[in-house]
Amino acid sequence: MLHIVVCIKQVPDSREIRIDPKNNTLIRQGVPSIVNFYDMHGLEEALRIKDEQGARITVVTMGPPPAEKGLKECISLGADDAVLVTDRGFAGADTLATSYVVARTIRKIAETWGHVDIVFCGKQTLDGDTGQVGPGVACRLDLEQLTYVNKVEKVDEENRKVRVHRLLEDGIEVVETSMPVLITALKELNKVRRASLPGMIRAARYKPTVWTTADFPDLERAKIGLKGSPTIVAKTWVPEVKAVKTKMITYDSPEAAAAQLADQLLTKDMQTLLDWA
C-alpha cells in the first residue's frame, strides 16, 4: 500500500495580524492559530488517493507542543498517524534547519512505518511564506520534487509513476516522474472536506507520536534550530506609505476632465512613455 506523508505547519493567521500604530509592532494577541491552508490541500489530496486506491497517511509537523491541535485536525479528516517533532533545540529554525529536521523525521517515519512513496507539502506558509521547505526536504531526501501542483492526474503505484500539472506564471506544465516524490500543493488542487463525526471522535482520543532530539541520536546539533540557520532576521520595520505628489483634476464636465487628463499624460515625456510618438 502507498504510504503518504503530509507535512503541516501550525501558523498564526497572518490575515488577522495587525500593527500597533504606537510602536509599529505586530499585535499577535488573540490571533488564531490555524493549519497553513495550503497544507490542508496537501492532506486532502492524500485522502483522495487513499479513497481511490488505498493509502496510509502519516501527518508530521515540527513545532511547539500546541501544534498537536493541527495534527488532531488532520486525524479527524482521515489521516492514520501523526507525528509531532518538538524540542526547544528546534526553535528559531530557518528553512535550511527546518528542512533538515523534517527530512530526518520523514526518514524515521519510513523506518518506523515502512517506505514513503509521496510527501505532500504546502506551496508556502502564511507566516514565513518562503516556499523553500518543500524543495529543501526533497533535496535532503534525494526525492524528485514537483512544486506548484494544481492537479494530481495519476498515481500509478504499480509502475511507481506520478503525473501532475504544475501551475506556472505562463501556463500549465504536465510532468511525470517516479516515486518517491515530493509534491507542493496549491489551493487549486482540490476542495478540502469537512471532518466526519467518527473522525472527530477518533481525533479526540488520538495521541500523536512525539519525538524530541533524544529520538534522533545522530542529529547534528550544529544543523538544528537557530544555530543551524544561516539566515538572520536583522531588522523589521513597517513600510512607509510612499508620498506621491497628487494633482487633483477639477472639472466642469467629464469631457473637460478627460481633456485635462490627456493634456497631462500626453506631455512630451508621456508621449514617448506611451510609445505614441
Instruction: Name the site residues for ligand FAD (rule: CB under 6 A).
Output: 7-9, 15, 36, 38-39, 60-63, 93-95, 98, 102, 121-122, 124-125, 127-134, 231
Note if the bond before 180 is cis, omega within 30 degrees: yes
CB 121 within 8 A of CB 42: yes
Which of 28/207 has CB closer to another protein? 28
CB 52 within 8 A of CB 42: no
Task: Tell me how far, at minimum, the Cβ of 185 lies from ligand FAD, in Å.
Answer: 8
Neighbouring C-beta atoms of residue 178, cutoff 10 Å: 13
Stretch 13-32 residues interacting with another protein (CB under 8 A): 14-15, 17-19, 26
The β-bridge partners of 96 are none
Which of 53/264 has CB closer to another protein? 264
* Contact flag: residue 194 with another protein (CB under 8 A): no
Which of 197/232 has CB closer to another protein? 232
Report the distance separating Cα 237 and Cα 22, nearest Å. Answer: 13
Report the distance separating Cα 58 and Cα 82, nearest Å. Answer: 5
CB 91 within 8 A of CB 62: no
Task: Tell me how far, at minimum, the Cβ of 182 lies from ligand FAD, in Å.
Answer: 10
Stretch 51-90 residues interacting with another protein (CB under 8 A): none
Task: Tell me how far, at minimum, the Cβ of 53 lies from another protein, in Å.
Answer: 21
Task: Tell me how far, at minimum, the Cβ of 29 lies from ligand FAD, in Å.
Answer: 17
* Binding track over 150-179 against another protein, x by CB under 8 A: xx-----------x--xxxxxxxxxxxxx-
Report the distance separating Cα 4 and Cα 49, nearest Å. Answer: 9
